[in-house]
């Protein structure tokens, strides 16, 4: 599933090509996404001029003067810019034609993504989200304060979008390793000093992933519209049974938490 860095890379990839451009037409081939696309979406978009391309958590928001298009990429979705002469492929469900002759094309084989029209600043998918991890609202002090009543494992805690958005499974594994915290430790048993370090590592791992994703920006025009994971930088995720890169003597251990893979070093993480 696309995570925050991949969605941010998508935003940066399409932004210079859509902002200031007018929507000339909209073609919807299949409305059956996670939630059906509304029957009036074409009417709301056509003739509108794009004011901005934003991200909130794992959602893209394309702003117009009368509202915003809210896009979630789901498990397999992508947005890319293609010439309007390029024939649609299977699973190319939505084309938003711009006055430049390019199409903003939404591709989603599994149809777990979604598109909604938002008027104003409130929407049920956005209203209860926590702070952005790369914003000034997020800090170790904040994590410590919110965690005091949470007995759930700290990995579950930082992956809760009501606590902080965008810390997916891969990045939670990596940030906890970098902070030296066991993923199964109770959130309310982690000290403030360690939460300060954890907030720093969350920001570091996400910023690094966004930077790596930035090298694929050319793919958003005529390419596949997907950003790559920073697999070459992974310290623990996907490396169960291998030696820890930090201590070099301990074998990385894998456990299951809420049906997700968690990998950690029993020596380096406590």
Catalytic residue IDs: 2-3, 58, 260
**How buried is 80 (Cβ within 10 angstroms: 0-12 exposed, 13-18 middle, 19+ buried)?**
buried
- Rounded CA separation 24/77 (Å): 23
- The reply to whether 110 sits in an annotated binding site is yes
CB atoms within 10 A of CB 123: 16
- The reply to whether 29 sits in an annotated binding site is no
- The reply to whether 91 sits in an annotated binding site is yes
- Identify each DSSP E strand in the chain by its residue range: 23-28, 52-56, 59-64, 67-72, 78-83, 92-98, 102-107, 114-118, 253-257, 260-264
- Rounded CA separation 209/78 (Å): 18
Binding residues: 91, 110, 150
Binding site per annotation, positions for DNA: 91, 110, 150
């Amino acid at each position: 599933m696309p995570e925050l860095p991949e969605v941010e890379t998508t935003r940066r990839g399409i932004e210079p090509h859509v902002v200031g451009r007018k929507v000339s037409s909209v073609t919807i081939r299949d409305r059956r996404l996670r939630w059906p696309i509304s029957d009036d979406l074409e009417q709301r978009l056509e003739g509108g001029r794009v004011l901005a391309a934003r991200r909130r958590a794992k959602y893209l928001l394309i702003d117009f003067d009368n509202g915003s298009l809210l896009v979630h990429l789901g498990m397999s979705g992508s947005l890319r810019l293609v010439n309007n002469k390029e024939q649609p492929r299977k699973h190319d469900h939505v084309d938003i034609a711009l006055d430049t002759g390019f199409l903003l094309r939404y591709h989603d084989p599994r149809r777990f993504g979604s598109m909604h029209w938002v008027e104003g600043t409130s929407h049920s998918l956005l209203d209860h989200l926590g702070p952005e991890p790369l914003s000034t609202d997020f800090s170790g002090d904040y994590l410590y304060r919110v965690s005091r009543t949470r007995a759930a494992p700290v990995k579950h805690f930082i992956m809760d979008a009501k606590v902080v958005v965008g810390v997916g499974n891969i990045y939670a594994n990596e940030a906890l390793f970098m902070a030296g915290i066991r993923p199964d430790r109770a959130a309310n048993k982690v000290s403030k000093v360690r939460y300060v370090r954890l907030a720093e590592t969350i920001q570091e791992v996400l910023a690094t992933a966004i930077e790596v994703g930035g090298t694929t920006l050319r793919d958003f025009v005529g390419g596949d519209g997907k950003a790559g994971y920073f697999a070459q930088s992974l310290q623990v995720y996907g490396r169960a049974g291998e030696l820890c890169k930090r201590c070099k003597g301990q074998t990385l251990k894998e456990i299951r938490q809420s049906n997700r893979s968690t990998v950690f070093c029993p020596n380096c993480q406590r």
